[in-house]
Structure 1
Amino acid sequence: MAQTATNLTTGATLREEKVSGPWQDAWRAFRKNKIAMAGLIMMVLFIALALLAPVLAPYDYKAQELTDRLKPPSSAHWFGTDDLGRDILSRILYGARISLWVGTFSVVGSIVIGTLLGILAGYYGKWVDMLISRLFDILLAFPSILLAIAIVAILGPSLQNALYAIAIVNVPTYGRLVRAKVLSLKNEEYITAAKAIGMKNSGILLRHILPNSLTPIIVQGTLGIASAIIEAAALGFLGLGAQPPAPEWGKMLSDSRQFIATAPWTVIFPGISIMLTVLAFNLMGDGLRDALDPRMKN
């Protein structure tokens, strides 16, 4: 009986070891970080509010009631109204869609292009590395927001062009990150073994290099969404992003800045929305870095 119990215990332990893996370990470490979990909950909440905006918004975000212009927060309008009598709460809910959409897809574009260029530069080296690295240096020579403004000014003010601009200016961040990771990986023994058995470069890149480069990309991408939301708000504030009547948070701040003294709620609530969304992604990104980076583990 004792032997049977020992075998059962050993078998259970082996099954647990098989189930456990690096991603499971990272998730367990992430869950222990209360601040990171708070960021995750806030992020999920904002995503839910954005998806359910048509259901939750008490008014049409475009509806104008000039008789109700600049009304303070009340039971009828929880966040008050703007200078055109539009419900601010409804516009913030729909604005969450715009900010999250721009932030997410601009970062996805940056990651795709930056990862491709970074892998090519790091793996092939020589003139390929020199050419791509100099391209990164040129893009990094300009302040990101000024470069984004220049790109939008050339393409024309619109939400889509703002997304393109934010994606372009952030490509070097991911490209350099991936390049550095590839340089440390390509001389590993398993890469040498893959070359020795005749595996093609494309197979090595897709099956070995890329999967082992995902950790820093995920962490930086999460933090990058927060930066992209701020950049989109900045472009909207300057009138280069979403155009009226789109309820983009930065544009809402720009339209209401002249009412800061007389109707402060018109800038407080969009500003708090930007702050909380960016804070959520930053907290979650810090937690992911702590969970995924082996140097952060005791």
Structure 2
Amino acid sequence: MPQITTHLNDSSAIPSEKVSGPWRNAWRAFRKNKIAMAGLFMIMFFIVIALLAPLIAPYDYKAQELADRLKPPSAEHWFGTDDLGRDLLSRVLHGTRISLWVGTFSVLGSIILGTLLGILAGFYGKWIDMIISRFFDILLAFPSILLAIAIVAILGPSLQNALYAIAIVNIPTYGRLVRAKVLSLKNEEYISAAQAIGMKNSGILRHHILPNSLTPIIVQGTLGIATAIIEAAALGFLGLGAQPPAPEWGKMLSDSRQFIATAPWTVIFPGVSIMLTVLAFNLMGDGLRDALDPRMKS
């Protein structure tokens, strides 16, 4: 009798390009979105600038040359100079570091605290949910920029306190998002099965609830960095963020607003930098939403 051989364990029978998984499929969908990829490349460009700013900046961003004040863009100063004779290109390059640092770490703080509170509220419910939800409602009752201004006014004007303020005002955004996701997940059959076999709540939260809540957090976090950069620029414009001589884009706009008519380049370059950075994160965030949301797939 001829022998019949099988290759059930032969992984080579499956082409590597056919191997799939939720994150691999999401990356494939993201790569097909040209606009989202453009946003990703723009973000990578700004990250490289932030890392290499001390090396590629032609001048010291703090160096003042009053004899060269308000010079228009030229071969010597590509972006021109400000009212103190400082090279605008050098200040814009170093300002990239500040904006990305504030945007990234303020959102990271919001995500950590918001996710923790959202999971506790959604999973345990009852009085825990009531207290946390009322805390979210109180924060949401104030316009975010006004609440950030109040927090910075109490803590004192500085870049670090502006970061704290932005992180605090955005906690409800991630907390309510995670709470809603947990409420839908905790009634799933696999959660009931985990409870039936005696798995502790901490294990359920760590191994089942949190991993399945990451998708909306990632999307919202990417979009939230753009919002945080705008809020940091707004606080800097009001003099509540980075203090001189730090080259923060919002502060640069504030210092140059009186020269809009006579030296428009002092406003154009910081403003365009804010616009391009925010645009990049919005494009990438929209692409991640389309790639990670099953409802967007055919």
Alpha-carbon distance in 2 for matches of 1:255, 1:199: 58
Match of 2:179 in 1: 179
TM (norm. structure 2) is 0.96
Match of 1:293 in 2: 293
Structure 1: runs of 5 or more not aligned:
none
Q: Secondary structure at the match of 2:240?
A: coil
Match of 1:252 in 2: 252
Match of 1:133 in 2: 133
Alignment of 1:46-125 (within 5 A): 46-125=46-125
Q: CA deviation at 1:14?
A: 3.4
Opposite residue 122 of structure 1, the aligned amino acid is: G
Q: CA deviation at 1:16?
A: 3.8
Alignment of 1:258-277 (within 5 A): 258-277=258-277
Match of 1:163 in 2: 163
Alpha-carbon distance in 1 for matches of 2:69, 2:35: 39
Alpha-carbon distance in 1 for matches of 2:30, 2:252: 35
After superposition, the Cα gap between the structure-2 partners of 1:174 and 1:267, relative to the gap in structure 1 and judged at 3 Å, is same
Q: Secondary structure at the match of 1:241?
A: coil
Opposite residue 272 of structure 1, the aligned amino acid is: V
Opposite residue 240 of structure 1, the aligned amino acid is: L
Q: CA deviation at 1:13?
A: 5.1
Kindly, what percent of the aligned residue pairs are identical?
86
Number of aligned residues: 293
Match of 1:22 in 2: 22
Match of 2:39 in 1: 39
Give per-residue Cα distances to partners, 1:84-109, cap 9 Å, x unaligned: 00000000000000000000000000
Alpha-carbon distance in 2 for matches of 1:73, 1:145: 34
Give per-residue Cα distances to partners, 1:239-265, cap 9 Å, x unaligned: 000000000000000000000000000
Give per-residue Cα distances to partners, 1:236-290, cap 9 Å, x unaligned: 0000000000000000000000000000000000000000000000000000000
Match of 1:215 in 2: 215
Structure 2: runs of 5 or more not aligned:
none
Give per-residue Cα distances to partners, 1:142-176, cap 9 Å, x unaligned: 00000000000000000000000000000000000
Match of 1:148 in 2: 148
Q: CA deviation at 1:229?
A: 0.1
Alpha-carbon distance in 1 for matches of 2:230, 2:25: 32
Q: CA deviation at 1:20?
A: 1.7
